[in-house]
Structures are given as structure tokens and as C-alpha cells.
Structure 1
Amino acid sequence: MTTALRTEGLTRRWGPFVANSDISLRFAAGARHALIGPNGAGKTTFINLLTGYLAPSAGRVYFGDDDITGLPQHRRVKRGLTRTFQINTLFAGLTVLESVMLAIFEREGMHRIWFRTVARHHAVADEAMALLARLNLERDADRRTASLAYGKQRLVEIALALATRPAVLLLDEPAAGIPSAESVELFDAIARLPREVTILFIEHDMGLVFRFAERITVLVGGKVLTEGTPAEIGADPRVKEVYLGEAEHASAA
């Protein structure tokens, strides 16, 4: 099976503190892969290393067969490695359609002239509408992004990420802060994305993880505890102990 993304011995430390330690993982092309673990497990640090937001203390990151360890974030996006966190502020004054069109113009290197020529670029508008339709946002195309419910704003963030035409999409807690019913709708939309897009996501809601993920990696203390299918992870006593311990600690607090 083709590998979309892999790491070899990926490590990040700050002085004596080691956030990630010797992480070697492979993510198959087209995978729906979840990264889970208790608070402080190093999940977001790992995503930051994949995207180039942080430089590793040791180890390598490979995108397909290419070593991208030294590439800056924007060049990784150009290669096809995109994270929703990279688009952390929606264009509040623009409509949903205009926002996605702007992301497409940015991809094509036309961001300096988009506001003068947007009405003439029917192909860009058609591509943007197709992305919105994929995420059930076409009815919101003419609404200002600031007026949307938070769950739909997260969908717009994903639409902006998809506008970069990613081969790998990294989602850092996409359902955080979203009511349960909206989070299910969000993940249903993600599940409909084409298999050409490999998805790696962090999520604390285990119901969503086991519903959506086809493979799960568990991080504990910055290291890989185990990896497997949802059935294998659900039956692993070590995983149950990790989450039971966290739940007991929270209830005691």
C-alpha cells in the first residue's frame, strides 16, 4: 500500500522535557487515521512537527518518498500537506463563497488581484461552489462567515484547507467546542471526502474516533503506546487503563 506520510525517529525536546520521543509512523494513502491520547501526550506537537510549525530535535518527516524535514510550512502546503490550524482566522467580512475563492486565488498565486477580478473568474467560482457542495455548505455560500454557527465555521475552515488541493489533510480536534449533533454532521461531511485525500486527525471524543477512524495510533507521554484498528484499540487493556486513569484523575479534581 502506498505511503502518503511517514516519520522516522521523530523527536522534539525543550531542554530536559521531551514532548515527542522517537516516533516512527506510516500513514497509508487514503487513510482515515486518528491520533489519540490523554492530555499532554504530545499529539499537537506531533502535528506541529509534520507541518513544519516546529522543527524536530531529531528524526525525519517524509511526504511520499520525499524528505520534507527542512521545508517551511508554506512549501509543505504547496506539496499537498495542509492543516486546518494553518487557516486559523476566517474572513469575517467576506461571504463563505468569497472566502473559498480567495483561498483558491492564493493557491494559484493570484491573491493580489482577486478583489478586482473576482466577478470574471467563473471557473474559480465553480470550483469553490463544488467544494461547498461537498461539505453541504452551498446554501450558505452568500452568508458572511461571521454569521455562521461555530460548527459551520469549522466546515468553512475545512473548505479553505481543501482549496489548497491537499493530498494529506491534518485536523487538530475539528469537533472541539461543537455541540454533539453538529460534530456528527461535521464528521459525516469529512467522511464523504474523496479517498485521494489522506486524513489524519486528533480527537478527544472517542465516539467520533471509533465511528470514523479506520486506524488509530495512541500516544502516551510523547511515545507511541500502540496502533491498530478500532476493534483492536477498543479491546486493548493498556488503552483502557490510560483513559480510565485520566477520567479518575479528572473526577478526583
Structure 2
Amino acid sequence: MPDPKSNIKPESNQIALRTQGLSKAWGTFKANTDISLSFTKGSRHALIGPNGAGKTTFINLLTGSIAPSGGQVFLDGQDITSLPQHQRVKRGMTRTFQINTLFAGLTVLESVVLVICERQGNSRVWYKTVSQQTLAIEEAMALLSSLKLEQEAQRLTGSLPYGKQRLVEIALALATQPKVLLLDEPAAGIPSAESAELFEVIAGLPREVTILFIEHDMGLVFQFAERITVLVGGKVLVEGTPTEIASDPRVKEVYLGEAHD
């Protein structure tokens, strides 16, 4: 059953993100049905489930890239259900997938500085070059250092290994100063050694940032997540701690015979 915390009122100052009865249907196909979940501030929360469970649809509903058929989304106690994607970013919700492409022709530092300038409303001040944005550069370097990317600062983003590019995506997302960071399969396509390193960096992110992530590697999920929600058929099957999820017979049945999600 869904965790009782999902019934906490949106005005609670402990809840970063909450959904109430969130649903999405295309004709007779119900991708998400009546999902009511709460994500505590600073938590590391995993969303798992078989292929076709509706995980990405749920993330798309949170970010506003698709409109719900029913239900509401609350960010920091405010109803954002009708807000477009860019307004949700300004309110503090960022998804790595929303950074559509890396700036392949710019250095890593230049890329992060530009996002910071956009956040500050300075990106259209054409007469100030990136090198003149001293405070933005200092902030960008501190951010890159926190992600262990400082040595890559002067490299073109397009020249980086794929695992490093995923870290740059996270850097660009963090440059928006999110309250909630949504990661859709951050380790996808990355060798296991690099994915473990990636999640170590993610684990070290500030607790001011609430993290909700989709991940197929159950080893990473159980190592990193503090709470886990399992979706099956577009509905919440169960939510709990990693220990509770690992011992739940319904979850074992869902993953029976599957090495990965």
C-alpha cells in the first residue's frame, strides 16, 4: 500500500513535492492512475517498476511536459498543475532530461556559466562575454568542483566521455538551483564502474536538493535510495524503505526472472 505520508497536506513544510490523484490516460489506455505520493525535503527517492509501468509518464507529469487527465502536483506547498515547464523550473523543479542537448561547442565551464546567467536574467546582456561574468564563473567552478568536474572545466563538452557528459547534465540542472531534481535513468548507457562513480557524486549533493530518480540497476537503487516507490501498470504497488521493498513478496513477484527492470 502507498506510504501514509502520501496523505500529508500540501502546506506541510516537510514536503518538497506531492501529487494527489495524478492520472494520465490516452483514450482507453491508462498510463498513470490515481497516484498520490509525497517526497520529503532532502530525500533520495527511487521510482522503479517493470517496463511500461508508467515511470517516465509520471516524471513527465511532474515536469509539465504532458498535461494530466486528472489530479494535482504541489511543489513546496503550491499547486503547480497548470504551470508550463519553464515556470516549474523557475519554481525549483529541474529534470536532467529537460536540458535537451549539451552545448557541444562550448567548454564545460562556459556551459554552466550560461545556465547561471540565464537563471539570473543576464543571458541576454550580449556585451558581457562569458569571461567577464566573474561571480557566475566562481559559482560555476564551485559547482563543478562539487561534482568532481573541475579538471574538465576547459574541455569541450562534446569531447567528454559519456559518463562525464551525464555529470555535466547534472551540473547544468544544479545551476538552476533546484529544490527538486528529477533524474531519469542517470546511469543508462554508462559502464557499471562509471555508473557507481556517478551515483557516488549524486549521493554527495547538498541535502537542500530533493532527488527523485528512475533507475533500472537495482544494486544502485538499494545502495542509494532512502525510499522506493514501485509502479506496476501505472499504479503504486508499494512504497517503503529499501529493506521493506527487498522483502516484499509482491515486488519479488514483479521482478521474478528479471535481472533488470
Which residue pairs with 2:240 in the alignment? 228
Matched, 1:24 2:52: no
Which of residues 192, 201, 206 is equivalent to 1:194? 206
Distance 2:53 2:259 in 1: 15
Which residue pairs with 2:22 in the alignment? 10
* Residues 11 and 245 (structure 1), Cα distance of their counterparts in 2 relative to 1, 3 Å cut: farther
Distance 2:130 2:226 in 1: 40
* TM-score, with structure 2 as normaliser: 0.93
Displacement of 1:117: 2.4
* Mapped contact 1:132–1:159 kept (Cα < 8 A): yes
Displacement of 1:88: 2.2
* Mapped contact 1:105–1:114 kept (Cα < 8 A): no
1:127-162 deviations in whole A, cap 9, x for unaligned?
A: 000110010000000000011000000000000000
**Number of aligned positions between the proteins:** 249
1:96-131 deviations in whole A, cap 9, x for unaligned?
A: 000000110111112223574222211100000011
Which residue pairs with 1:205 in the alignment? 217
Distance 1:24 1:115 in 2: 48
* Mapped contact 1:38–1:246 kept (Cα < 8 A): no
Name the structure where helix makes up a greater proportion of residues.
1
Which residue pairs with 1:89 in the alignment? 101
Report the 3-state secondary structure (helix = DSSP H, G, I; strand = E; otherwise coil) of the residue aligned with 2:74: strand
Matched, 1:136 2:148: yes
Displacement of 1:244: 1.0
* TM-score, with structure 1 as normaliser: 0.96
Q: Find runs of 4+ consecutive structure 1 residues off by over 4 angstroms.
A: 245-248
Structure 2 gaps of 5+ residues are: 1-12
1:211-235 deviations in whole A, cap 9, x for unaligned?
A: 0000000000000000000000000
Which of residues 133, 138, 151 is equivalent to 1:126? 138
Which residue pairs with 2:58 in the alignment? 46
2:152 maps to amino acid: D
Which residue pairs with 2:81 in the alignment? 69
Matched, 1:239 2:243: no
1:163-191 deviations in whole A, cap 9, x for unaligned?
A: 00000000000000000000001000000
1:101 maps to amino acid: V
% identity of equivalent residues: 74
Which residue pairs with 1:58 in the alignment? 70
Report the 3-state secondary structure (helix = DSSP H, G, I; strand = E; otherwise coil) of the residue aligned with 2:167: helix
Which of residues 101, 122, 125 is equivalent to 1:110? 122
Distance 1:8 1:242 in 2: 25
